[in-house]
Amino acid sequence: MSTILPLTLKDVAVRRRGKRLLGPVDLTLDPDGLTMIIGPNGSGKTTLLRVMHGVERLSTGTATWAVPEEEARHRQSYVFQTPIMLRRTVADNLGYPLRLLNAPRAQVNARVRHWAERIGLADRLSLQATRLSGGEKQKLALARALIRKPDVLFLDEPCANLDGASTRDIESILQTALSEKTRIIMTTHDLGQARRLASDAVFMLHGVVHERGPASRFFGAAQTAELQAFFRGDIIA
Amino acid sequence: MNDIYEGLVSAFWLVVTLDQDLMQISLRSLQVSLSALVIASVLALPLGTFLAIRRFRYRRLTISLLNALMGLPPVVVGLIVYILLSRSGPFGVFGLLFTPTAMIIAQVIIITPLIASITHQAMRELWAEYHDLLISLNTSNWQRIKTLIWDGRRNLLTASLAGFGRAIGEVGAIMIVGGNIDNATRVLTTAIALETGKGDFALALALGFVLIALAIGINICIHWLSRTEREGRW
């Protein structure tokens, strides 16, 4: 099956109640790697991610995949900053995306077991997901997103508020997903994590792409004064 | 006080001796109210959930109307159903007037807005919680409704029980469309009204206590079966 990428954003802007939240943005995402979107609060990172995922209404511009939009929507997943748990068991949460596709019960069960073992929740499949810890919930949300084997995975600050061990577990799952050719696009405030994972990076400021480049150049030789200031930890106006 | 005491004693003996009339009236009450509850729930649960998730023109007006219909006067409902089902009415040909079916129809009309409105309130909160995930998973409207109804089933049980409470205690509408005919359409509430009219307060109270016991019993049974307030897979 051919990949749904590249994704091309052309002159994309999002305005709500007269306020510009994003844009204009022109951006193309190639089929491989992990794109890290960084920037200060309110810079448009999450809006950009939602635009790419197709859940944010565009005021202007277009977002185009290599395949029809309906097909592209089915071949991507999204993990939210605050994990959303269905009021069901761990097993039912994991299997939910597959059941939406009417996958055979045996296949659902096999994949649920596989992913539960991978995230260390195999012994808690019958526990209510809402009773898991924050780190466990996020791992479950990530596994639920990956269980459909998406071409593209979007993550909105998946490790915010998590401790080091949980962050390491999630990064390990992401590395494995990358090695299995899942395209990942994520936002983060953690520059260490950005350096560890990114193959290329985007710096958002005031709703526009301020700087973009491959990770080695982006983190090693920032071109703009604003990105350099951001790396130093300065407050950017 | 004496009437209440006598009512309690009468109720006790009516139940202990399995009084045939009481059993028949009680079973008919349950049959009518539970039938109305099932039909109203089938209509109201998806409707309330749909109103929670779907944005459309006149949605707020629809919700306001639904809330207003919660206070629908049963006597007026009974009168309208009576006119519709009477021989000269549009549905007179079915011969439903003064049958338990007519009573069920009236009760469905009365409790559907109540169940739908409570469902809407409960589902609105759940939808706010699930919205981003279900949109992200590209679910259809029907998949969203199914997910919300399943995951919010405990709240929906409360909505249905509220409907049952209203149905089993209803008297005005079913008196009009049922006619309180002995061995045919007499139920606990209409029997209470009849006995009160005849001045037999002890029997009326006895029937009242049986009615209350039935309502509480059904509620407890449903809560017990559905494991509400307990941890578990349900």
Q: Which residues from chain A sit within 8 angstroms of residue B136, using beta carbons? A: 53, 55, 77-78, 80
Q: Which residues from chain A sit within 8 angstroms of residue B132, using beta carbons? A: 55, 80, 84
Q: How close, in Å, is residue B33 to chain A by CA atoms? A: 31
Which residues, given as ranges, of chain A have pLDDT below 50?
A: none
Q: Using CA atoms, how far apart are residues B26 and B23, in angstroms rounded to an integer?
A: 5
Pick among B129, B131, B138 to test the A interface (most A CBs inside 10 A): B138
Q: How close, in Å, is residue A217 to chain B by CA atoms? A: 33
CB-CB under 8 Å, A100 with B143: yes
The reported pTM is 0.82
Would you state the pLDDT for residue B86?
Answer: 94
CB-CB under 8 Å, B137 with A97: yes
Q: Which residues from chain B sit within 8 angstroms of residue A128, using beta carbons? A: 231
Q: Which residues from chain A sit within 8 angstroms of residue B138, using beta carbons? A: 73-74
User: Which structural domains are found in chain B, ordered by start?
Assistant: 2-226 (1.10.3720.10)
User: Which structural domains are found in chain A, ordered by start?
Assistant: 7-84+150-232 (3.40.50.300), 86-131 (no CATH)
Q: Using CA atoms, how far apart are residues A145 and A230, in angstroms rounded to an integer?
A: 31
Q: Which residues from chain A sit within 8 angstroms of residue B152, using beta carbons? A: 87
Tens digit of each residue's pLDDT, chain B (234 residues) = 677 787 778 778 887 888 888 889 999 999 999 999 999 999 999 999 999 998 899 999 999 999 999 989 999 999 999 999 999 999 999 999 999 999 999 999 999 999 999 999 999 999 999 999 999 999 999 999 999 999 998 889 888 999 999 999 999 999 999 999 999 999 999 999 999 999 888 788 888 988 999 889 888 887 777 665 555 444
The region, left, alpha or beta by phi > 0 then psi within -120 to 50, assigned to residue A166 is alpha
| Integer angstrom CA distances of residue B108 from A134, A155, A198, B46, B114 | 45, 47, 60, 15, 10
Would you state the pLDDT for residue B231?
Answer: 52
Q: Does B17 touch chain A (CB under 8 A)?
A: no
Would you state the pLDDT for residue B234?
Answer: 46
Give the residue from A204, A182, A202 showing the smallest Cα distance to A194: A202
The region, left, alpha or beta by phi > 0 then psi within -120 to 50, assigned to residue B57 is beta
Give the residue from A54, A44, A147 showing the smallest Cα distance to A94: A147
Q: How close, in Å, is residue B151 to chain A by CA atoms? A: 6
CB-CB under 8 Å, A74 with B138: yes
- Which residues 6+ apart lie within 8 Å of B96 measured at CB? B85, B102, B105
Residue of A nearest to B141 (CA): A100
Give the residue from B140, B135, B46 showing the smallest Cα distance to A100: B140
